[in-house]
């Protein structure tokens, strides 16, 4: 089997040829409509959104905390964004409208996590410590309860599964960016070395007791996501790529799962 590392950076002419074939196959499937339809943001009035700026000692910087549907007494779901994104990007993705359309009795909170897969690349920047030690206090100050669930998207699934396991929370993970080997993991330049990656990689540790997984069959992380399926309460695999369109398609199902788990 050609590793994802070979597909991403090439390993000589053979790897380049295989990578090109995979890209061409995905492009052809897209043209034929075989990667599934893009989801759309519901045309409803979105739930209220507020943004506050907090100083995170754990991350060594200020971060945005974006709160959607803040209602006292509603369970809080923490959303962890993907690589190259941030907390405000979860609003752009359409979460406030999806919450409104689902009439979800759920408060969603997103916070900036950087690009280190939500794990500490150095002691000076520790997103996991921010989630465990600082976020609960920020929520209390806003009149909200403790985190009750986690929703991760792409890179956010890596950190989300780590966080959910350590905090004992249920999780919903969309297109989980996980790595089956160090050769794959090193390509993203998010981990100090193999030992650092291995100490956090969700596929190498016990998983949360309750979680659901959604991933497209044309997603580059599909094979890794399949390894989660035997342990998940809900595992949905259908045609789809690693895109906003796919995440918008499956978000209603993911919120439905979280509603059932928290209900």
pLDDT in the model for residue 119 = 97
Contact predicate 93/68, CB 8 Å: no
Reply yes or no on whether the pLDDT at 127 is more than 90: yes
Confidence band of 185 (pLDDT split at 50, 70, 90): very high
As a whole number, mean pLDDT of residues 12-26 equals: 46
Tens of pLDDT, residues 212-257? 999 999 999 999 999 999 999 999 999 999 999 999 999 999 999 9
Mean of pLDDT values over 118-140: 96
3-state secondary structure of 73: coil
Residue 23: Cβ-neighbour burial (10 angstroms; 0-12, 13-18, 19+): exposed
Give strand pairing partners of 149.
77
Give the largest CA-CA distance in the chain: 58
Per DSSP, helices labelled H in the chain are 4-9, 13-31, 89-93, 95-102, 127-129, 135-141, 155-167, 182-185, 194-198, 222-226, 244-262
pLDDT digits (tens, 9 = 90+) for 149-162: 999 999 999 999 99
Each residue's pLDDT tens digit, 76-108:
999 999 999 999 999 999 999 999 999 999 999
Residue 121: per-residue pLDDT: 87
- φ/ψ region of 189 (left if φ > 0, alpha if ψ in -120 to 50, else beta) reads left
Bridge partners (DSSP) of residue 46 are none
Q: What is the pLDDT of residue 8?
A: 44
Find how far residue 257's CA is from the centre of its chain: 15
> Residue 246's pLDDT is what?
98
**Three-class secondary structure of residue 22 per DSSP:** helix
pLDDT at 83: 97
Residue 261 has pLDDT above 50, yes or no: yes
- Per-residue model confidence (pLDDT) at position 250: 98
- Residues in Cβ contact with 88 at an 8 Å cutoff, skipping those fewer than 6 apart: 51, 64, 66, 110
Given a cut of 50, whether residue 2 has pLDDT beyond it is no
- pLDDT above 90 (res 30): no
Report how far residue 8's alpha carbon sits from residue 141's, in angstroms, rounded to the nearest whole number. 44
Report the 10 Å Cβ neighbour count for 202: 26
Chain CA centroid to CA 255, Å: 13
**Beta pairing, strands 49-56 & 61-68:** antiparallel
Averaged over 102-118, what is the pLDDT? Answer: 97
Q: What is the pTM of this model?
A: 0.89
Eight-state DSSP code of residue 233: S
Q: Which domains does the chain have, with CATH numbers?
A: 1-34 (no CATH), 46-262 (3.40.50.1820)
Q: Are strands 211-216 and 171-174 parallel, antiparallel or unpaired?
A: parallel
CA distance 229 to 94: 27
Mean pLDDT, all residues of the chain: 91
- Alpha carbon 13 to its chain's center: 33
Rounded mean pLDDT of 11-17?
Answer: 38
Segment 40-55 shows an average pLDDT of 98
Instruction: Find the mean pLDDT for residues 161-170.
Output: 98
């Amino acid at each position: 089997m050609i590793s994802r590392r070979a597909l991403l950076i090439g390993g000589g002419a053979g790897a380049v040829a295989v990578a090109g074939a995979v890209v061409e196959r995905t492009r052809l499937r897209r043209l034929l409509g075989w990667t599934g339809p893009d989801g759309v943001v519901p045309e409803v009035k979105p739930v209220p959104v507020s943004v506050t700026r907090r100083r995170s000692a754990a991350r060594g910087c200020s971060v945005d905390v974006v709160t959607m549907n803040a209602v006292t007494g509603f369970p809080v779901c923490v959303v962890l964004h993907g690589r190259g994104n941030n907390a405000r990007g979860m609003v752009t993705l359409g979460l406030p409208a999806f919450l409104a359309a689902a009439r979800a009795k759920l408060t969603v909170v997103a916070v900036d996590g950087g690009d280190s897969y939500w794990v500490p690349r150095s002691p000076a920047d520790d997103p996991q410590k921010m989630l465990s030690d600082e976020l609960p206090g920020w929520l209390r100050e806003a009149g909200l309860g403790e985190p009750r669930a986690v929703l991760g998207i792409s890179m956010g699934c890596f950190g989300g599964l780590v966080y959910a396991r350590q905090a004992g929370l249920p999780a919903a993970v969309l297109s989980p960016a996980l790595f089956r080997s160090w050769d794959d993991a090193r390509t993203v330049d998010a981990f100090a070395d193999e030992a650092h990656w291995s100490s956090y990689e969700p596929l190498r540790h016990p998983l949360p007791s309750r979680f659901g997984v959604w991933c497209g069959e044309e997603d580059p992380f599909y094979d890794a996501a399949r390894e989660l399926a035997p342990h998940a309460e809900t595992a949905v695999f259908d045609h789809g790529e690693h895109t906003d369109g796919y995440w918008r398609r499956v978000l209603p199902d993911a919120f439905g799962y979280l509603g059932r788990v928290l209900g």
